[in-house]
């Protein structure tokens, strides 16, 4: 056994937190006696690229990454897996140098496929048609971050007009709560302090098991050793008063809400087939600020959806300007084949989309600065991460402010009480330790 030369395998992830949790799980399925994990920046015998296809730009980034690894190591085995090949296997397998193409469920067996694969002229393609009640494959990230991404749910039944995620990941499904608390216990055993609860449509957790997201939160907070839970995102119509009071009633669940709004104009929300109006969004933000005044609230917004006129956009811009948000994630509308919106009239020109995005991005910057200013002089807790930049150690507060402090190795992975003193030239919050 000990004279087996272990193959060097490297992993590269594109896209969402869910993909990072899944890549970490996939990497743990490679037997250490046969494979040696190496950083993607180094030479390897095998590269596994876990992809994203949420926008046109995401597809482009995937193709660039694939070609980068092929050029870096022409003899290496290139396995391209996940959402992009699930929807466009032909496009991926047509890239010369790709050896293995796996869909969103098959990707978890990549180690098995690779143990028999040799470099060939044409790529081997394995992707299946997804069915709503398809399997839920548990995943969490471990070992490569102070925080861990825990997958609690997969797929989505919503069918928003612009979205390709259900086509890539199938319908809404989830495991039982006790299997997720078991994952949390093993993460606590690995020294993880903060779990980022992730999925596709987190608030819709429970369909498969008849349980609810509120119940899940109440069970997760009982796990010893995990001190913080961060909800990565939740639909506005699924952020119930019950969930809010659980969050307000338990210090372990962080006062940070990322809520996809997409538009501040009701006509556009309807065209997008979103399940709320802007009034409901305002109602949820007001409810958060009443019960957790210091909470950090971020929102996703799409600019240039088909049919969005200049005045519709101005309405969204003013709506966001008047809503107490601490940051925005701004996306230019990206037409995705197979979605309802792809055949909608009223397409917005590229440079106009860009102009609208620029305006929203500068609005986000000023709202974020304002939120930082409101927090100066207040105390918070920061989980310091192992990232060292410019002689500083950084980490996030509970309400999602990136803080910085002069580097001390012993602070890595520690949750410390801090006083927020001011905004540093790097745009982070300068803090002092007060515990």
- Count CB neighbours of 200 within 10 A: 24
Cα 362 to Cα 346: distance, rounded to the nearest angstrom: 26
Binding of ligand SF4 by 341 (CB under 6 A): no
Binding of ligand SF4 by 158 (CB under 6 A): yes
Rank residues 101 and 163 by Cβ distance to ligand SF4 and give the closer one. 163
For 218-285, the three-class secondary structure string (H helix, E strand, C coil) is: HHHCCCCCCCEEEECCCCHHHCCHHHHHHHHCCCCECCEEEEEEECCCHHHHHHCCCCCCHHHHHHHH
Binding of ligand SF4 by 261 (CB under 6 A): no
**Residues in contact with ligand SF4, total (CB under 6 A)?**
10
Binding of ligand SF4 by 15 (CB under 6 A): no
Binding of ligand SF4 by 159 (CB under 6 A): yes
Rank residues 202 and 411 by Cβ distance to ligand SF4 and give the closer one. 202
Minimum CB separation of residue 277 from ligand SF4 in Å reads 16
Considering only 82-90, 156-164, 356-364, 385-393, which stretch makes contact with ligand SF4 by CB under 6 A? Answer: 156-164
Minimum CB separation of residue 389 from ligand SF4 in Å reads 32
Minimum CB separation of residue 185 from ligand SF4 in Å reads 29
**Sheet with 327-332, side-by-side order of all strands:** 256-262, 296-303, 327-332
Minimum CB separation of residue 213 from ligand SF4 in Å reads 14
Cα 175 to Cα 156: distance, rounded to the nearest angstrom: 14
Cα 424 to Cα 403: distance, rounded to the nearest angstrom: 9
Considering only 24-32, 160-168, 390-398, 406-414, which stretch makes contact with ligand SF4 by CB under 6 A? Answer: 160-168
Residues 346, 307 contacting (CB under 8 angstroms) = yes
Given 201, 316, 334, 339, the residue binding ligand SF4 (CB under 6 A)? 201
Binding of ligand SF4 by 160 (CB under 6 A): yes
Residues 191, 185 contacting (CB under 8 angstroms) = no
Given 78, 152, 163, 288, the residue binding ligand SF4 (CB under 6 A)? 163
Rank residues 59 and 235 by Cβ distance to ligand SF4 and give the closer one. 235
Binding of ligand SF4 by 165 (CB under 6 A): yes
Considering only 126-134, 157-165, 340-348, 360-368, which stretch makes contact with ligand SF4 by CB under 6 A? Answer: 157-165
Rank residues 81 and 202 by Cβ distance to ligand SF4 and give the closer one. 202
Binding of ligand SF4 by 166 (CB under 6 A): yes
Binding of ligand SF4 by 202 (CB under 6 A): no
Minimum CB separation of residue 95 from ligand SF4 in Å reads 27
Rank residues 20 and 35 by Cβ distance to ligand SF4 and give the closer one. 20
Given 168, 200, 247, 401, the residue binding ligand SF4 (CB under 6 A)? 200
Contact set for ligand SF4, span 78-117 (CB under 6 A): none
Which residues are CB-contacts of 150 (< 8 A; sequence separation ≥ 6)? 21, 140, 180, 183, 184, 187, 195, 196, 197, 198
Binding mask 395-434 for ligand SF4 (x = CB under 6 A): ----------------------------------------
Binding of ligand SF4 by 143 (CB under 6 A): no
Rank residues 158 and 407 by Cβ distance to ligand SF4 and give the closer one. 158
Binding of ligand SF4 by 48 (CB under 6 A): no
Q: Interface with ligand SF4 by CB under 6 A: which residues?
A: 156, 158-160, 163, 165-166, 200-201, 235
């Amino acid at each position: 056994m000990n004279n087996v030369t272990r193959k060097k395998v490297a992993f590269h992830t594109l896209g969402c937190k869910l993909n990072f949790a899944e890549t970490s799980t996939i990497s743990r399925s490679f037997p250490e006696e046969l494979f040696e994990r190496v950083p993607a920046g180094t030479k390897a015998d095998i590269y596994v690229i876990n992809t994203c296809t949420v926008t046109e730009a995401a597809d482009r980034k995937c193709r660039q990454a694939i070609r980068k690894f092929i050029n870096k190591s022409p003899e290496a085995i290139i396995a391209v897996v996940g959402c992009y090949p699930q929807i466009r296997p032909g496009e991926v397998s047509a890239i010369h140098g790709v050896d293995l193409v796996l869909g969103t469920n098959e990707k978890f067996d990549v180690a098995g496929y690779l143990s028999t694969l040799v470099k060939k002229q044409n790529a081997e393609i394995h992707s299946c048609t997804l069915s709503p009640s398809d399997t839920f494959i548990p995943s969490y990230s471990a070992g490569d971050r102070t925080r861990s991404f825990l997958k609690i749910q997969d797929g989505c039944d919503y069918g928003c007009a612009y979205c390709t995620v259900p086509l890539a990941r199938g319908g809404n499904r989830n495991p039982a709560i006790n299997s997720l608390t078991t994952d949390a216990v093993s993460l606590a055993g690995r020294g993880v302090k903060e779990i980022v609860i992730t999925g596709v449509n987190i608030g819709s957790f429970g369909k498969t098991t008849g349980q609810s997201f509120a119940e899940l939160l109440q069970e997760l907070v009982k796990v010893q050793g995990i001190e913080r839970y961060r909800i990565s995102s939740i639909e506005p119509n699924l952020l119930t008063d019950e969930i809010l009071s659980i969050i307000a009633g338990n210090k372990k669940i962080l006062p940070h809400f990322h809520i996809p709004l997409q538009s501040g104009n009701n006509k556009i929300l309807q065209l997008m087939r979103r399940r709320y109006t802007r009034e409901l969004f305002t109602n949820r933000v007001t409810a958060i600020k009443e019960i957790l005044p210091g909470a950090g609230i971020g929102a996703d917004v799409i600019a240039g959806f088909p049919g969005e006129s200049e005045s519709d956009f101005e309405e969204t811009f003013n709506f966001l300007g008047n809503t107490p948000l601490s940051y925005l994630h701004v996306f230019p509308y990206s037409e995705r084949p197979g979605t309802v919106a792809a055949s909608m009239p009223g397409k917005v020109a590229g440079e106009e989309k860009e102009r609208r995005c620029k305006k929203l991005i500068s609005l986000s910057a000023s709202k974020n600065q304002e939120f930082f200013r409101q927090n100066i002089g207040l105390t918070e807790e920061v989980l310091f991460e192992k990232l060292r930049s410019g002689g500083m150690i950084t980490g996030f507060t509970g309400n999602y402010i990136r803080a910085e402090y002069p580097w001390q190795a012993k602070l890595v992975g520690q949750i410390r009480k801090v006083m927020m003193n001011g905004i540093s030239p790097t745009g982070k919050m300068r803090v002092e330790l007060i515990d």
